[in-house]
Amino acid sequence: MRALQVGDVLDLAAAQSDEAEDRLEKLFEWDFERTMTTVRLLFAAAGSLLVALFAALFREDAVINTWQVVAIGGSSGVLTFVGAALLRRTRTAHREYIAALQLLNAAEALGPLLARYLAERARSQ
C-alpha cells in the first residue's frame, strides 16, 4: 500500500461523509489481508522446501550434494526472513491506522472549513 498522506485523511474529512471511518478501516483491512496472505504464502513455501529437503535426506537412494542442501536451506531461511519482516510491517500499519483514525476524528470537526479551504485552493490552481 502506498503511504497514506495527511492530505488524504483531510480530504476524507472534508467530504463530510458518514462513512469516512468505514472507508479508512476498509483501506487498512485490505492492506492487512493482502500482507497476511503474502506472509502465509512465504511461510508455506519455506516449510515446503524444508519438508522436501528432509524427505530427500532420509531417502536411501537419493543423491544430494552439499551445495543443494545449503541452497535449499538458505532459500527457506530467506523466505522465512521476508515473511517475518512483512509480519512486522503489519504492526507498523496498525499504528498508522490508529494515527489516521485520530486525525480523521480531529479533522471531522473542521469538515466544513476544510471543504471551503480545499475548494478555494483548487480554484486558485
pLDDT, tens digit, 9 for 90 and up, residues 75-124: 999 999 999 999 998 888 888 888 888 888 887 777 777 777 777 877 88
Q: What is the pLDDT of residues 93-106, one digit of tens each?
A: 888 888 888 888 88
Report field, pTM of the whole predicted structure over 0.85: no
Contacts of 110 (CB under 8 A, 6+ apart): 13
- Cβ-contact 12, 114 below 8 angstroms: no
Q: Residue 75 corresponds to which amino acid?
A: S
Question: 11 phi and psi, to 5 degrees?
Answer: -60, -40
List, for residues 8-49, the tens digit of each pLDDT value. Answer: 777 777 776 778 788 888 888 888 999 999 999 999 999 999
pLDDT tens track for 42-68: 999 999 999 999 998 888 787 888 899
Give 62's DSSP letter: -
